[in-house]
Amino acid sequence: MPEAESRGLWAGLKAAGRAIASFQADFVLTAVYYLALGPASLALKLSGRNPFGAADAKTGWKPREPVDPAEHLKSQG
């Protein structure tokens, strides 16, 4: 097989490999999302758990006590 033909064959195989890999990655990531993350989030929602500890469901902010800047700087080392 001449070198020019083998380069064209190799380029075609690489393009086919990229297309297959792209499809496979999309398929696997979609399957993981729907088979693992979806049911897990649904179970948490139905159980009423709040894994991130958000106090206010509207904003997600938690109330905090003010921190003394001097004490904060001491803990920075």
CA dist 34 and 38 (Å) reads 5
> How far is CA 74 from its chain centroid?
36
Residues of the chain with pLDDT under 70: 1-2, 53-57, 60, 77
> Which pLDDT score, from 0 to 100, does residue 57 have?
62
> Which pLDDT score, from 0 to 100, does residue 16 have?
96
Check: CB of residue 66 under 8 Å from CB of residue 59: no
